[in-house]
Structure 1
Amino acid sequence: MNILIIEDDQRVAELIQRGLKEQGFASTLAYDGVSGEKLVLQNNYDLIITDIILPKMDGIDLCRQIRNSKPDIPIIMLTALGTTDDKVEGFDAGADDYLVKPFEMRELLVRIRALLKRNAKSSNSTGFILRFADLEMNLYTKIVKRSEQEINLTPKEFKLLEYMMHNPERVLSRVEIAEKVWDTHFDTGTNFIDVYINYLRKKVDRDFDKKLIHTKSGMGFILKSDEL
């Protein structure tokens, strides 16, 4: 496994690299966003770890650029910023996970292994079309339609809806969504899952009489064609 670390703090970058080496991972360092983007375009990496605040190109813009050229590579963002808005911006740019500094190396390793495992499963699986009521999701083309009207979703909105379509008619707790879609433990101090559910509602349900995404009070969320 080869991991790209994009971090302008040399001490932090080298600490991460040393921790990865001890676990058998090869890694490459870049100290600014532009250099990181060049390395991504020139090489194949299994996973990218990037800071958000970087010289020359910040981690948000870098993540968007990476998603344009290599949409499937897992990306973990590291940052001292930890508000819900910061996390939403990172996920909307295409990040798969988000770790707030300071963090323990073992927690980073858990996130890395979870993403690598998930990515390996998806690359070996057969693509197909998911359908629920009049909602359709093409896992090959990443196109989502409802009643033949195309719906534009961000990468994280797509993953959240995909998980709900794999588990229709079942209440999904915030803890389960955090673990299965974000590969992270649910932080009760943030509401980013509710934020993304609201994003989906606006795109999937707003223009239609029949609502598909429902809240089960005190329990979680459910994809259901009938009113609760």
Structure 2
Amino acid sequence: EEYSEVAGLEAGADDYITKPIKPRVLKSRIRAMLRRQQIQPARDANSVVIHDLEIMRDEYVVRKGEERISLPRKEFELFYFLASRPGKVYSREDLLVRIWDNLHVTDRTVDVHVRKLREKIGPHYIVTIKGVGYKFLPE
């Protein structure tokens, strides 16, 4: 059991929970993790709220403060995917598989979509990790 716990944490897990666990303890751990990642529970399961951003999956809309930003489908899917996993780095190839489902597009497609997202939403949310890929950073 200790080996599994150490392996999970070293592989990138934020926490490791052993069973059985009391529901109140689990709920408290989840809230603590959300605080650490500066993410608030959304009003529903189809949106992500980070500071002044609300990403509404059902509507393909991002709300930044009072501003409502409509995005094309792939831009929205890319932004939602990265924002729902803040701090995790994804390579261009990985994003192509996850967002474009290996359609016949080049890795520059990701770069173009990231550039457009930065223009529309702000340059500081999606960070380039040189030679690796991209990650989402909350403000």
Q: TM-score, normalised by structure 2?
A: 0.61
Matched, 1:160 2:73: no
Change (3 A) 1:167 1:128: same
**Unmatched runs of 5 consecutive residues or more in structure 2:** 1-43
Deviation at residue 166 of structure 1 after TM alignment: 2.0
Q: Deviations over 1:81-109 (max 9, x none)?
A: xxxxxxxxxxxxxxxxxxxxxxxxxxxxx
Match of 1:220 among 128, 133, 138: 133
Which one of the candidate residues 41, 51, 63 is aligned to 1:133?
51
The number of aligned residues is 96
Gaps of 5+ in 1: 1-125
Find out whether 1:204 has 2:121 as its counterpart: yes
By relative contact order (CA 8 Å, sep 6+), the higher-ranking structure is 2
Aligned to 1:180: 98
| Distance verdict in 2 for CA 1:135–1:186, change over 3 Å | farther
Distance in 2, Cα, partners of 1:186 & 1:134: 35
User: Cα deviations across residues 93-149 of structure 1 (Å, max 9, x unaligned)?
Assistant: xxxxxxxxxxxxxxxxxxxxxxxxxxxxxxxxx852212232111122222111221
**In 1, Cα distance between the equivalents of 2:80 and 2:128?**
17
TM-score by length of 1: 0.38
